[in-house]
Chain A
Amino acid sequence: MKRAILQVSGMTCPSCLDTIRTAVARQHGVQDVEVLFNAGKVKANFDERATNARSLANTVEKMGYVVERTTTKEN
């Protein structure tokens, strides 16, 4: 398991948070997702055999938000 932390900008309303959480959680291999509205962070644990941080960042970008930085950590 790895942990991806995405720094996202463009979250202006708490409903954006629901949308992002649902979208990232749907990705294959993603275990649990946490979206920090105020810090503009998306934190997700994922199985590195099924997906990677870049594809998670793409998912978020597809929804109309800008991913500023992506970091991956060993869990």
Chain B
Amino acid sequence: MHVIQRYFVRHMRNMVYVMSGLIISAILIQYLPIPFMRDRTLIASIFYLLSGILGLIPIFIKALVSLQLRVISIELLVSVAIVGALIIGEFSEAGIVAWLFLIGQIIEESTLTKTRSAVKDLIDLSPQTALRVTSPTAHDAEEVTIDAIKSGDYLLVKTGSQVPVDGVIVSGDGNLNEASITGESTARRKSAQDCDAVFAGSFLTDGMIVVRTTQVGDDTVFGRIIEVIEQAEDSKTAVQRFIDRFARYYTPVVILVSFATGVLTSDVRLAITILVLGCPGALVIGVPVSNVAGIGLGAKCGILVKGARMFHELSKVDVMVLDKTGTLTNGIPAVARVRECTIPATSSPYPELDINYVWRLAASLEQESTHPLATAVVTYVQRRMPAISFTQPKHFRVTAGQGVSAICDQHTVVIGNRRLLQAHAITVTPSDKIMADKWMHAGLSVVFIAIDGRPCIMIGIGDTIRRHANAALRQLRRQGIGRLIMLSGDSQTVVNEISSKLDLDEAHGDLLPQDKANFIRTIQGSNQKIAFVGDGINDGPALAVADLGIAMGDGTATTIEISDIVLLNSDITKLPIAHALAKATVINTYENIGIALITILILIIGLFTGFIYMASGMLVHEASILVVVINALRLSHRKLDTRQHRR
């Protein structure tokens, strides 16, 4: 029997073509006025009969296999219906039902594949082979399958190919597109010099590198992301669990009703029609198919959702609580304020220095230092003057906790805080002092640039607001989030400074991780749904307590574990996109439930008013499945415009 079944599984398509031919011929013979042909009805019946029997074989075998496992399958219902129809001589009904059922399965399989394509496209990104070399400098590349690669192996990656494993660059450099990991499509420069890490699934757009393998296959960041998505797709919402339970009882009940009808009315035709209508197809498939489309679309743009339930939660969120550092702000110091120093009234005439020249001297010194504040200054100058060339400073000196000094281009350059200026006997005007105090109060570190004993520029350095953060908050408000709250471990003055530039309802500072969790518990008391958005590293308690934990971060195991949704690449603009996607997915789910319920209603009404029989019932049934799948496809083809938030 298994041999027959395997044969039918392999040749399903061809068989359905043959059946289609039989059915069409039968209809033509029956209804077209073909001359010189007698017994047209008989010939048509034979064609229908052949189609019915041909279709019955695979359906019946599948039904039997399930029955052996005590599972009442749809195939069993259809088999009984076909056999019944054959017995009472309704050959056309039997033939058409078998044909519709099988053709329905083929169409469903191919459309379902389309709804799952987002995730499949991702999986297809992982290469199946790799070029292994014996050492970072060897040229003995050998192509091996991915399963044969172990941690510690050296792999060669050429331009235009994919990184097959997680690892560290040990030789060469190149631009890597990490869209599959972070959703960010701009390539990043990575090199052996910086011991940069590379990830499986990323794409080397130019250059050539040798990678030392650290993780392979399912253990890579990419592998874990795929696993989370696969599990998420099959996770169930409360609605779906209800439907599944309903479906489990629905089928046996339909059999009983059909049997009872057959016995009581002796109308076999009506009894088997009820059997055909007893497949709750659209209802069972409708919800999962919407969820798959939504989760897949999210994965495509760097929004990792751990389950369909998370979408339902997110769509109902009333209050969004956001962490400050690393979420609304960049989490790394950057130049926030710049001001030219005032000239003291008592000062002697002084040669005016070009401001760009001052910046060039400053950057030349700061370049020598690895301090985060120095890096912030260099980054700022490079952005201001992209074509800058540095001058080599002489007598370079670092004073810990104060700043740097050197001779550069025959000028004495001092860059640092007021203590360093005092040590060099440089005075700052009272108005600059007041300004510096003000900046420090707002949480900024103040750095002076002094040339030849005269303060020229003062810089305020601190954590800066992420680009588009405010636009993202506004978008969330437009999408119906009622309250937006910022929490931070920083002092209240720093928090006030940042929140004054953002569209927030509340902002609270001086909070320990545990305090943030308690804060969320307090609002939860007021029966509102709360999402917490944090960086996933030190916000563990708050992420866990909130109804929904959203982490800004990467695909590392810890981030995924403690949160419900991960916004890869720490992109704040993905927050409103995730919220919009959640709403769209939930609406799509309810649309599909609606379509399924309407179908059942049509079938029941059709049955009792007598205009639906076996074949037409099967047609409505299969069509409804197709409609819900296509509706879900509409969702997965939705354009999530990431740019609309960047206006």
Q: Which residue numbers of A lie inside 8 Å of B, CB to CB?
A: 10, 12-15, 18-19, 22-23, 26, 36-39, 41, 61-66, 71, 73
| Interface positions of B from 58 to 102, Cβ below 8 Å from A | 58, 61-62, 65-66, 69-71, 73-74
B112 x A14 contact (CB < 8 A): no
A38 x B233 contact (CB < 8 A): yes
A12 x B109 contact (CB < 8 A): yes
B62 x A63 contact (CB < 8 A): yes
Cross-chain pairs A/B with CB under 8 angstroms, 10 sampled: A14-B288, A19-B69, A22-B71, A36-B233, A38-B233, A38-B234, A39-B116, A39-B119, A39-B234, A63-B62
Q: A26-B69, A64-B62 are in contact. Are A13 and B284 (CB under 8 A)?
A: yes
Q: Contact partner of B71 among A19, A39, A65, CB < 8 A? A: A19
B284 x A14 contact (CB < 8 A): yes
Report A-chain residues with C-beta under 8 Å of the C-beta of B285. 13-14
Which stretch of B2-10, B41-49, B134-142 is in the interface?
B2-10
A12 x B284 contact (CB < 8 A): no
Q: When each residue 235-249 of chain B gets 1 if its CB lies under 8 Å from chain A and 0 otherwise, what string results?
A: 000000000100100
Measured CA separation A22–B119 after assembly (Å): 27
Report B-chain residues with C-beta under 8 Å of the C-beta of A64. 5-6, 8-9, 58, 61-62, 65
In the A-B complex, the 7 residue pairs with the closest CB atoms: A38-B233, A39-B230, A22-B69, A36-B234, A19-B66, A19-B71, A12-B108
Size range of the chain B interface in the assembly: 35 or more
A37 x B284 contact (CB < 8 A): no
Q: Which residue numbers of B lie inside 8 Å of A, CB to CB?
A: 2, 5-6, 8-10, 58, 61-62, 65-66, 69-71, 73-74, 105, 108-109, 112, 116, 119, 147, 218, 230-231, 233-234, 244, 247, 281, 284-285, 288, 292
Measured CA separation A37–B308 after assembly (Å): 14
Measured CA separation A71–B281 after assembly (Å): 32
Report A-chain residues with C-beta under 8 Å of the C-beta of B284. 13-15
Q: How far is the CB of A14 from chain B (nearest CB, A)?
A: 5
Q: Contact partner of B9 among A19, A65, A71, CB < 8 A? A: A65
Give the residue name and chain of the B residue nearest to A18 (CB).
B71
Measured CA separation A15–B66 after assembly (Å): 10
Report B-chain residues with C-beta under 8 Å of the C-beta of A15. 71, 73-74, 247, 284
